Chain A
Amino acid sequence: DIQMTQSPSSLSASVGDRVTITCQASQDITNYLNWYQQKPGKAPKLLIYDVANLETGIPSRFSGSGSGTDFTFTISSLQPEDFATYYCQQYGSPPYTFGQGTKLEIK
């Protein structure tokens, strides 16, 4: 299985901050990388697919980049509703695996 390693596992930030999360794959997954947001008691929500494509309705403050094994997710200016847990997910080859999550908390 392809292992996805996210860092950091948790992050404290303030409204208006720029935050970056990284995700590293254990092997080359080209651009087969998605990002999700999950709030307590809710299902994950797709934010970005294929590294950098925003899902419909997702604000442009969210962005992604990378290729191969190293990927980055950025929120350019944190809003109150962005405090949540974020996951990367690869589909380079099944089984489709997720990172362990990054919990973004209010400072």
Chain B
Amino acid sequence: QVQLQQSGPGLVEPSQTLSLTCAISGDSISRNSVTWNWIRQSPSRGLEWLGRTHYRSKWSSDYAISVRGRIIIKPDTSKNQFSLQLNSVTPEDTAVYYCARTDIVVAFDYWGQGTLVTVSS
């Protein structure tokens, strides 16, 4: 059974960096058919896909235009986990952040438990 366990702070100051980690059990981060995603949810923006990382002979990541330039999603193969870094945060980045997997079809079949991140001083 695949499980995704999120960790990271729930409070980030404006202009700082939001950092979250998603630890994977029951699957390999490097398996060829899967992608590892970050999605956030807020009352104002709804569910918003932020980006993903995946391995297809080499590692690559791609991001939503709305956060491109501020976001990095990267794998840690030694720990079978991946991370989200979102730079220069503002109160508009306040949301529940989820990690999620896709396998072959781009349907998010496994999700982390969610982390409420509040951007405030």
Contact = CB atoms under 8 A, between A and B. Distances in A.
Contact of A49 (B46, B105, B114): B105
A43 B111 contact: yes
B59 to A, nearest CB: 17
Choose among A46, A99, A101 the residue with the greatest number of B CB atoms under 10 Å from its CB.
Answer: A46
B64 A91 contact: no
B46 A101 contact: yes
A100 B46 contact: yes
Contacts of B64: 94-95
A50 B105 contact: yes
Interface of A is mostly: loop
Contacts of B106: 32, 34, 91, 96
A1 B46 contact: no
Contact of B98 (A34, A43, A96): A43
A96 B108 CA distance: 11
B108 A44 contact: yes
14 contacts: A34-B106, A34-B107, A36-B108, A43-B112, A49-B107, A50-B105, A89-B107, A91-B106, A94-B64, A95-B65, A95-B66, A96-B106, A97-B49, A100-B46
* 9 closest A-B pairs by CB: A91-B106, A43-B111, A49-B107, A98-B47, A95-B64, A96-B49, A34-B107, A46-B109, A49-B105
Given A91-B106, A98-B48, A99-B46, 13 more contacts: A43-B98, A43-B111, A44-B47, A44-B108, A46-B108, A50-B107, A87-B47, A94-B64, A95-B64, A95-B66, A97-B49, A98-B46, A101-B47
